[in-house]
Structure formats: C-alpha cells, structure tokens
C-alpha cells in the first residue's frame, strides 16, 4: 500500500487499484478508485462548484501503513488492505465489508476471500464490472433513491435495479437515518441491495468507482449539502402553479380550443394545456400534422390571450419511414444496437431512439422543435418516453456515442432534457419548465417537472405514488407530479374510479404540480380517418376535464382548485425554498420532525412544506382515518378544531374532504 498527499486529496495505490479521496463541499468527501491507471474524470452528477475546503490528511508509513482524510465532521480512513471506513464526529458511520486475510489479524480478517471492492474485466474492452460492499447497520432506515413502484418507502431490506424504466426512476442518492447521504455517482446499469447482512452496489460496466458522502444532523441539511454539489432548480414561474389540463390526445386544434374556451366560459383559469403524442405525422418528424393542426400560431395566440401556456409532447423515437430517419442514421445521431437490426422501439412502426449523448443529435432535434413549435409561440415541451422506452430493456444490446448503454444509460433522461433546456436557457425567454418521464441525479437543475409515469388507476398504485414522490424529493427532485387518477382507466363511469379520481386530485392540490392527465376508457371513440400515419387514425381516451365526471366530482375538484389558488403565495415560498436549499414541496414527516421517532415510520401522511400536514385517503370507501400529529399545536382545516401534538387522532374524511392539519406557530 502506498499513500500520497496531493492537491488537498489523499491518493493511494494498492494491488493495481488507484484511489483518490478528496473534500467535496461542506462535511463531504468524494471517493474514487479505478483499475485503469487513471481516472476518466467524468463529473456525472457532481457538476456544481462547491466552496473550497481544506482537508486534514494524515499518513502513517510504519507497518501496517494507514491514512486518513478529514473534511469538517467527516473523516475517512484507509488501512493497509485498502479498506475504507467513514466517521461522523469521531463515531464509525460506514465501513466497507471486507472478509479477506491481509497480513494482520483483525475483526475483518477472514478466509472467505471476499474483498470490499471486486473488479472483473469485460473481456476485450477497457470496462469492468464492479461490486462494492459496505457493512450493514441494525435499525438503519434508508430513503431517497428515486422512484420505485412498490409499497416500501424505507429502502432498507430492498433490492433496487439501477436502471430507468417507464415509471421506475433511478436517482441513486440515499438518505440514512444515521445522519449521512450517499450518492452513487455512476450512471451504469446495475443494482443496489440494502441488505441486513451488507449493502451491495453493482455497476455492470464502468471505468471508475465513484461515490460521494456527506454528513449532517437532519435530512434537510443532508439534502442541502447534496443539492449544493449537484444543483438546484430555478425559481418556478408563478403562472404555472395552478391547473395543467391534459388528456390522452387532443387530436385537433379545434378540440384544444374548445376545451380552453369552455374553461374560460366557466370562469376557471387553467395555467397550461398540453398537446399529447401523435399531433405529428410520424415519430421523429416533430411537427404538427397540417390536416388537423392547420394554423398552430393562431391556436397558440388565442390560448395566450386567455392566459394559458401551451406544452407539446416530444418523443425521442424516430420511425424508419419518417423523412429524417435516413439523414439521422447516416450522421450517426441514433442509438446503435450491438447486433441485428437497428430497431430499439416499436409503436405504430419500427423506430430507433435518438442518441441524446451526441451534441449534434441534440442540436438537430432542437432546431426542428424550434422551427416547428417554438416559432409558433409554444411555451414548453413534454419529453415523454425519456428512459428511453426500449422495446425490451436489454441494456447490453444498445450503444451510445458516450459508450455502451450498460455504462451510461441512467443519465440518458438528463441528456435528453438538456437538448431542450440548454438552447432555451440561451434564449432567455423566461423560466424553463418542461415535463419529463425520467430523471437522474442532478436532473433537478435542467427545468424538469418529473412525473411518475404510466401507472394504473388503482388505490394501490395511488399509495405507491405517495412514497415515490416523497423519495424523489429526498433524492433532490422537488418538481414531481403524477397523472391525477392514474394513467390507465377502463371505465370512467365506474363509481369506484370516480372516487379514486377525487382522492387523487385532492392529494395533487397539495403537491408540486396539479396536472389532469390519463388514458380514459372505454375506447369507443371513432377514429378521424383511415390513414396509416398521422394522428387521425389513432384512438383517443374519453374526456378528462373537470366537468367530465359528473356534477359531484366537478364541484369537489373545483373547490379544491380554489384551495390551490388560495395557497398561491405559500406555494411560491415553497418553490423558492426548493431553489434556495433543495427542499422538496412534499416532505416525509421526518424531514420536518427528525427528532420524532414515530415520523421515521410514517409513509401514508406527509408535510406540504412546513405548515400543512396532509393525510391523503388511500383506500376505497374510506371516510375516516387515523393521523399522527407530532409535537406542537395543530388545527384541522375542515372544522377549525385544534389538537395537541404527540398523539394519533381519528378524523372524518367524507368524499368532499381530505384531512389536512395546519401547524399553529405559537409566538413569544
């Protein structure tokens, strides 16, 4: 083992592995190792310039050699076998799992031949598979990590695929109840297991091991440190804090205008209306089908006159019959396959996806979208299928200009969003707010509202979305939303679905973005024409406006929209806080009450900012529910009744009302 102090960093070399540990922001360290002799020097998520920190480095050269590096409250040690341990204020926090005999007898010295870091070369290339293990802690709880469609909010005991899929979002930042945050700064496809015997991180194809560790006393401070290193969103525009109107495919500009005019006649303001997929002719043509959208500029001008912003859907897939396909494949602007045909996606035709890692690809797509959308006044883009959604998620089959998909796939949605954010930022026409279906660490700074994907319209799925949103916020993504009522509905006339819709809408009012969307059955609406291309021949869902579900649903949703609009100034404060320190708008109970052990076990209620405790109704025909109130004074918003905290109360929840408690701040 050889240790070197260089440029405020601890460098070590051991049995063909090069390591580097350095201060990287307040009470934080970045840790890298490689078998390649030199680091690839990719920033990945660590893009922000952090305040310079002077670390304390100590190297002991006597046998057994030993070294340490300290940055504020966080200390890392490396022993003679290359095993790393981390300490917070002198207390052991995290240690690599090492079961090898390495020349001295110690607690970790075993004959199992299990090193903490296992590298296996990918034959014929310069990539390795990597397996990193840490000791496990009894009683630890782990949150964040993005969005996984499961019932568990606490990730301890879970196995998580590090890969992007429709409705699964890998954002590999974990917040521990022990007071640390851990970023796996590696976009490779892989897996993490937060086991009871050990924690295991796997990258299937990589050049470097790269992670970042921070310590703090509260989850709020951990997220602040993390977003200081990875970025924070801009200030969200006030003119999009209200209702966004969307459905599965407004097929014509007349349909869009008819909906906008009716909202206006009813005296209901919508902030944004969304034009979904196949308003184009073929995928990869990124333009309006002239047959059904004859005058987009006139449409946009009228919508703007009503105070409504306009968003259009963009997909990253390119149909092989589209007019740009040959140009794009000739210029190597598309994802490549390792063998066989070049098809990566199949929907209404054989398609290949754009290579969003290629700057030339991003510019090619942007120039078309500027010409065919933004020049008409379109305000924002819905970046759908952003994983991208491959025909099958065989990541070893695909390759980008950055490298094999196994090595870089997870950052694709961020690169896709940057195809729009970067040129829009240069135009400086106002705040950038695009909608996207996937994200990675750091995506929060690229104008992304992330939604939870094409999820079922069930109460079970609704409950899953709540923990998804809370964990996304803890992973640094504060602009998060869902399809109200879920995406996939068989029958809009089913009373059970209408109950679900109302309960989901009530929750959405107390979340970052209020957005109506979904594919509403039954699918019995005739097609507009029989062409084999263009938007006319595709089906569409049933109406999805506030008035589409009967008088009772309309009355309740309209009343909750009024509540949303009445909270405008408060929501503005929450968005400002997200910009200032990275705090999400919807917050796990322990985010605001970390000292309350009960709050670490709650996942069916949450805080909307620091003022409102929200208890959504997550079950069919549930008209009462228990709510835990932390210490303090609380007021039930439906009745004005006040309660002392530190207890669980049972409250009524008729269809017209979702229990919300306002925190009473006692002055003096």
- Give the residue numbers marked as catalytic: 384, 387, 454
Cα–Cα distance for residue pair 194/136, rounded to 1 Å: 8
Which residues lie closer than 8 Å to 602 by C-beta, 6 or more apart?
588, 589, 590, 628
How many CB atoms within 10 Å of residue 623? 11
Q: Residue 162, exposed/middle/buried by CB under 10 A (0-12, 13-18, 19+)?
A: buried
Note whether 39 and 208 are within 8 A (CB): yes
SS3 for 195-240 is: CCCEEEEEEEEECEEEEEEEECCCHHHHHHHHHHHHCCCCCCCHHH
Cα–Cα distance for residue pair 208/186, rounded to 1 Å: 8
Cα–Cα distance for residue pair 278/292, rounded to 1 Å: 11
Note whether 647 and 629 are within 8 A (CB): yes
The answer to whether the bond into 64 is cis (omega within 30° of 0) is yes
Q: Angle of helix 495-509 relative to helix 459-474, nearest 10 degrees?
A: 20
Q: Which two tokens stand for residue 232?
A: 């924070």
In 3-state terms, what secondary structure has residue 629? strand
Strands 84-88 and 74-78, bridge-based pairing: antiparallel
Cα–Cα distance for residue pair 50/228, rounded to 1 Å: 7
Number of H-type helices and E-type strands within the chain: 12, 42
Alpha-helical (H) ranges within 512-643 are 551-566, 568-581, 589-592
In 3-state terms, what secondary structure has residue 657? coil
Note whether 294 and 279 are within 8 A (CB): no
Picking from 417, 279, 264, 301, the residue whose alpha carbon sits closest to that of residue 354 is: 417
């Amino acid at each position: 083992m050889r240790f070197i102090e260089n440029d405020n960093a601890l460098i070590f070399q051991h049995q063909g592995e090069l390591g580097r540990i350095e201060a990287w922001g307040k009470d934080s360290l970045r840790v890298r190792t490689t078998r390649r002799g030199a680091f690839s020097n990719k920033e990945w998520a660590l893009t922000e310039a952090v305040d310079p920190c002077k670390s304390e480095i100590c190297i002991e050269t006597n046998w057994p050699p030993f070294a340490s590096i300290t940055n504020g409250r966080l200390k890392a040690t490396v022993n003679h076998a290359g095993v790393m341990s981390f300490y917070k204020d002198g207390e052991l926090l995290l240690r690599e799992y090492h079961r090898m005999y390495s020349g001295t007898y110690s607690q970790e010295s075993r004959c199992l031949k299990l090193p903490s870091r296992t590298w296996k070369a990918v034959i014929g290339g310069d990539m390795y598979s990597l397996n990193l293990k840490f000791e496990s802690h009894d009683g630890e709880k782990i949150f964040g990590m993005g969005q996984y469609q499961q019932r568990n909010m606490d990730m301890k005991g879970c196995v998580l695929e590090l890969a992007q899929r429709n409705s699964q979002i890998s954002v590999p930042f974990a917040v521990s109840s022990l007071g640390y945050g851990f970023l796996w700064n590696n976009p490779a496809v892989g897996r993490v297991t937060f086991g009871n015997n050990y924690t295991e991180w796997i990258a299937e194809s990589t050049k470097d091991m790269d992670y970042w560790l921070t310590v703090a006393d509260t989850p709020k401070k951990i997220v602040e440190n993390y977003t200081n290193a990875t970025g924070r969103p801009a200030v969200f525009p006030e003119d999009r804090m209200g209702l966004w109107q969307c459905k599965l495919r407004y097929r014509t500009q007349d349909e869009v205008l008819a909906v906008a005019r009716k909202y206006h006649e009813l005296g209901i303001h919508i902030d944004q209306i969304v034009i979904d997929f196949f308003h184009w002719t073929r995928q990869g043509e990124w333009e309006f089908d002239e047959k059904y959208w004859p005058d987009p500029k006139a449409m946009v001008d009228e919508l703007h006159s009503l105070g409504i912003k306009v968003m259009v859907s963009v997909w990253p897939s390119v149909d092989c019959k589209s007019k740009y396909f040959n140009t794009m494949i000739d210029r190597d602007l598309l994802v490549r396959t390792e063998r066989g045909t070049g098809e990566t996606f199949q929907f209404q035709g054989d398609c290949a996806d754009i290579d969003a890692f290629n700057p030339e690809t991003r510019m090619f797509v942007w120039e078309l979208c500027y010409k065919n959308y933004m020049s008409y006044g379109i305000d924002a883009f819905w970046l759908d299928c952003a994983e991208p959604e491959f025909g099958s998620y065989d990541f070893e089959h695909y390759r980008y200009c950055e490298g094999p998909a196994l090595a870089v796939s997870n950052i694709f949605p961020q690169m896709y969003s940057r195809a729009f954010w970067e040129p829009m930022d240069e135009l400086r026409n106002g705040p950038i707010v695009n909608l996207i279906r996937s994200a990675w660490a750091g995506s929060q700074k690229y104008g992304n509202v992330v939604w939870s994907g094409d999820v079922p319209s069930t109460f079970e799925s609704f409950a899953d979305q709540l923990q998804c949103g809370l964990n996304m916020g803890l992973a640094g993504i504060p602009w998060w939303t869902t399809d109200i009522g879920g995406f996939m509905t068989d029958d809009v006339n089913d009373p059970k679905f209408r109950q679900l819709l109302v309960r989901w809408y009530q929750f959405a009012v107390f979340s970052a973005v209020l957005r109506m969307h979904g594919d509403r059955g039954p699918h019995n609406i005739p097609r507009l024409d029989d062409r084999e291309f263009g938007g006319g021949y595709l089906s569409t869902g049933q109406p999805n406006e506030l008035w589409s579900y009967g008088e009772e649903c309309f009355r309740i949703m309209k009343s909750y929209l009024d509540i949303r609009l009445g909270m405008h100034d408060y929501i503005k404060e929450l968005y400002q806080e997200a910009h200032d320190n990275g705090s999400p708008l919807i917050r796990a109970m322990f985010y605001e009450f970390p000292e309350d052990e009960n709050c670490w076990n709650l996942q069916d209620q949450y805080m909307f900012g620091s003022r409102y405790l929200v208890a959504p109704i997550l079950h069919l025909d549930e008209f009462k529910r228990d709510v835990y109130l932390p210490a303090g004074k609380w007021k039930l918003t439906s009745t004005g009744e006040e309660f002392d905290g530190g207890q669980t109360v049972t409250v009524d929840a008729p269809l017209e009302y979702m229990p919300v408690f306002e925190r009473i701040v006692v002055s003096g």
